[in-house]
Amino acid sequence: MIELRDVHKAFGPKRVLRGIDLTIAQGTSMVVIGGSGTGKSVLLKCILGLITPDSGAITLDGQDVARVERDAFLARFGMLFQGGALFDSLPVWQNVAFRLLRGSLKRPRAEAREIAIEKLRRVGLTADVADLYPAELSGGMQKRVGLARAIAAEAEIIFFDEPTAGLDPIMSGVINDLIREIVTEIGATAMTITHDMTSVRAIADNVAMLHDGVIQWTGPVADLDDSGDPYLDQFIHGRAEGPIEAVR
């Protein structure tokens, strides 16, 4: 279980997170929604330790993430980055098997390649993609490779940062279905940040809306349309008028 209590983060005078309280239960899929620039990515990076919060507590299974052994902590995570963040200098299979080629999870090269190809198949890519370089792939294929990399080392917790950004609706649907299937199949805890409401409904067990540095609303995805929260209503229906200023 991931718990955030009163987490604050500012960049100079800009206070991005102003007291975040959020709980993500083990084995569930939490989707965090919110407008552009509201701090969704900052929130996610605070949990991973890529950004240090100014105050507040973040715990994973009751342990403060700032005090745990970093390698063991990170070995539990997989992450799909918004732009894929694939390593340009490595072929696709080495991107997928990155963790399996070095460090505590190191395997023989041939075995790591086999696992990478199997994970590529899992996300709908054929073995002939394995030796291509990321620059030779389309945006949708890069997302799939990123997804394969996120699941390659059997992560318990997977983060998805804008998994459908920049993809056409059909490819977005494919990625959403893959995420849902994989999260269910491996029983992982998932946290996704997105503004794509189709993704929210396809991926989420629970939804949290981040606005003005705090969690404005949180609840099961089934309650999304009947929340009674004017901020959430405005956001999910994409209205220009409402309590959220359209020009921020």
Interaction site with other proteins (CB under 8 A): 45, 48-50, 70-71, 74-75, 77-79, 81-83, 85-88, 98-99, 102-105, 149
Question: How far is residue 16 from each of residues 12, 28, 125, 217, measured CA to CA in Å?
Answer: 10, 26, 38, 17
For residues 70 and 237, which CB has a smaller minimum distance to other proteins in the complex? 70
Tell me how crowded residue 105 is: count the other CB atoms within 10 A of its CB. 16
Alpha carbon 76 to its chain's center: 14
For residues 89 and 126, which CB has a smaller minimum distance to other proteins in the complex? 89
Distance CA 120, CA 141 (A): 10
Distance CA 13, CA 18 (A): 12
For residues 40 and 45, which CB has a smaller minimum distance to other proteins in the complex? 45
For residues 34 and 78, which CB has a smaller minimum distance to other proteins in the complex? 78
Q: Work out how close the CB of 65 gets to other proteins at its nearest, in angstroms, rounded to a whole number.
A: 13
Q: 6 φ, ψ to 5°? A: 50, 50
Q: Work out how close the CB of 234 gets to other proteins at its nearest, in angstroms, rounded to a whole number.
A: 29
Q: Work out how close the CB of 115 gets to other proteins at its nearest, in angstroms, rounded to a whole number.
A: 15
Question: How far is residue 205 from each of residues 23, 29, 46, 85, 224, measured CA to CA in Å?
Answer: 13, 5, 22, 26, 11
Q: Work out how close the CB of 169 gets to other proteins at its nearest, in angstroms, rounded to a whole number.
A: 24
DSSP string, 115-164: HHHHHHHHTT--GGGTTS-GGGS-HHHHHHHHHHHHHHT--SEEEEESTT
Q: Work out how close the CB of 183 gets to other proteins at its nearest, in angstroms, rounded to a whole number.
A: 17
Q: Work out how close the CB of 68 gets to other proteins at its nearest, in angstroms, rounded to a whole number.
A: 13
Query: Which amino acid does the sequence have at 231?
Result: Y
Q: 192 φ, ψ to 5°? A: -125, 140
For residues 81 and 217, which CB has a smaller minimum distance to other proteins in the complex? 81
For residues 71 and 111, which CB has a smaller minimum distance to other proteins in the complex? 71
